[in-house]
C-alpha cells in the first residue's frame, strides 16, 4: 500500500496516508468488460459514487452485451464510457447503430475512441481519427470523446517502436478538439515506471498537445498475471520493473501493487500543479473488487452503498 506516512516536521508517522497520493487518486476511473462486470453484484458497494466506468470492447463481444452492461452501470449511478474500437466496426451504418443503441438504451453520451488491437480491419475504419471525422458522435450529442495514448509507443501506429506517428496522431486530435465542441482527454495504456511517463507527458505539452491525460495504471494483481497482460498489451521498456521482480521466485505468486509508480507521479503532480496528468485510470488486472479496495486503502474515496 502507498502508506508513505509523512510527518509534519521530522519524518514518517506510521499509518498516515500520503496527502499527495490521496489527492492524486481522487476522481479515478476504472475499466471493466461485460464478463468481469457480471462478477460484481452491485458496483455501488465498491466504487465511489460517480466513478466513470469504461467498458472495454474486445473483439467478438456482442454489442448487445456491451449495451446491457452500460445500461446496468448507468442504472447504478455510474457514468459509462464504452470503447469504440475502429477496426472492429464494419461501416458507418454499424457505428451509427452502436451509438444509437448506447444512447437510446443506456443513456450514454461519452466514448473512448481507439484503433483497437486488431491487425486487419473488419471494414471501413482503421483509426480513431476516422471515427471522429464521421461526425456521428457530434450529431448524437456526445459530450466527452476520449482517445488513446501510449507513453511507451504503439506498434500499431509505429511498427518500429518510434513515437513520431503517435505524436502526429495526437496532434491531429488536439486540433480536432480546438475546432469542435468535443471535450477530449487522453486515456493511456498502463506502464510501470513514473520517469518515462513524466517525460512523455512533458514532451506532449512541449509539442503543443495539452489535452488532459488520464494515466493508465495496472491495479494490484499476481506478478505472473501482470506480466502476461503487459506482454499481451505491448507494454514497452517499463516491463523491466516486473522482470526484475520476477527474478525472485518467492514473489511470483505475490500481488504486485502500483505503489511506487502512483507515489512518484503523485509527488510530481504535487510539485508541479500544471502537470498535464489530471486523473488515474485503473486497469483492474487482479479483479475489480481488489482494485477498488486498494484505491480506498491508499486514499481514494470510499464507496457509499445504496440504501434502497
Domain-located, residue 11: no
Whether 305 is covered by a domain: the verdict is: no
Q: Does residue 282 lie in a domain region?
A: yes
C-alpha cell, 101: 443503441
> From residue 164, how far is each of 77, 86, 204, 266 by CA, in Å?
40, 21, 11, 28
Domain assignment present for residue 308? The answer is no
Residue 34 resides in a domain: yes
Number of domains in the chain: 1
Report pLDDT for 303. 78
* Parent domain of 121: 19-297
CATH number of the domain within which 174 lies? 3.20.20.220
Please state, as a whole number, how many other Cβ atoms lie within 10 Å of the Cβ of residue 255. 15
How far apart are alpha carbons 271 and 279 in whole angstroms?
16
Cβ contacts of 251 within 8 Å, gap of 6 or more: 223, 245
Contact 221, 285 (CB under 8 A): yes
pLDDT string in tens for the chain (308-residue length): 333 333 333 433 344 468 999 999 999 999 999 999 999 999 999 999 999 999 999 999 999 999 999 999 999 999 999 999 999 999 999 999 999 999 999 999 999 999 998 889 999 999 999 999 999 999 999 989 999 999 987 555 544 444 567 788 899 999 999 888 889 999 999 999 999 999 999 999 999 999 999 999 999 999 888 888 888 888 888 888 888 877 776 666 678 999 999 999 999 999 999 999 999 999 999 999 999 999 999 888 887 655 43
- Is 194 within the bounds of a domain? yes
Whether 188 is covered by a domain: the verdict is yes
Does any domain span residue 283? yes
Question: pTM for this one?
Answer: 0.88
Amino acid at each position: 500500500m502507498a502508506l508513505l506516512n509523512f510527518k509534519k516536521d521530522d519524518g514518517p508517522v506510521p499509518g498516515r496516508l500520503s496527502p499527495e497520493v490521496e489527492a492524486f487518486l481522487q476522481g479515478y476511473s476504472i475499466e471493466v468488460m461485460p464478463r468481469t462486470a457480471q462478477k460484481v453484484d452491485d458496483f455501488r458497494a465498491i466504487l465511489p459514487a460517480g466513478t466513470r466506468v469504461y467498458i472495454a470492447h474486445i473483439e467478438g463481444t456482442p454489442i448487445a452485451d456491451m449495451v446491457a452492461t452500460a445500461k446496468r452501470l448507468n442504472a447504478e449511478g455510474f457514468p459509462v464510457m464504452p470503447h469504440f474500437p475502429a477496426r472492429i466496426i464494419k461501416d458507418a451504418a454499424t457505428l451509427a447503430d452502436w451509438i444509437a443503441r448506447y444512447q437510446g438504451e443506456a443513456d450514454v453520451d461519452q466514448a473512448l475512441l481507439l484503433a483497437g488491437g486488431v491487425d486487419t480491419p473488419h471494414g471501413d475504419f482503421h483509426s480513431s481519427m476516422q471515427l471522429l471525422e464521421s461526425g456521428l458522435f457530434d450529431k448524437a450529442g456526445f459530450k466527452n470523446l476520449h482517445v488513446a495514448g501510449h507513453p511507451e509507443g504503439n506498434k500499431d501506429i509505429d511498427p518500429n517502436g518510434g513515437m513520431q506517428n503517435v505524436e502526429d496522431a495526437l496532434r491531429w486530435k488536439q486540433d480536432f478538439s480546438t475546432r469542435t465542441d468535443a471535450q477530449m482527454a487522453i486515456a493511456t495504456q498502463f506502464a510501470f515506471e513514473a520517469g518515462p511517463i513524466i517525460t512523455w507527458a512533458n514532451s506532449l505539452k512541449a509539442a503543443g498537445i495539452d489535452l488532459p491525460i488520464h494515466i493508465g495504471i495496472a491495479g494490484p494483481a499476481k506478478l505472473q498475471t501482470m506480466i502476461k497482460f503487459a506482454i499481451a498489451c505491448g507494454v514497452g521498456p517499463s516491463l523491466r520493473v516486473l522482470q526484475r521482480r520476477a527474478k525472485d521466485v518467492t514473489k511470483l505468486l505475490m500481488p504486485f501493487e502500483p505503489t511506487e509508480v502512483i507515489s512518484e507521479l503523485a509527488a510530481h503532480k504535487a510539485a508541479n500543479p500544471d502537470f498535464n496528468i489530471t486523473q488515474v485510470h485503473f486497469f483492474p488486472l487482479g479483479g475489480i473488487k481488489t482494485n477498488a479496495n486498494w484505491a480506498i486503502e491508499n486514499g481514494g474515496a470510499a464507496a457509499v452503498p445504496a440504501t434502497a
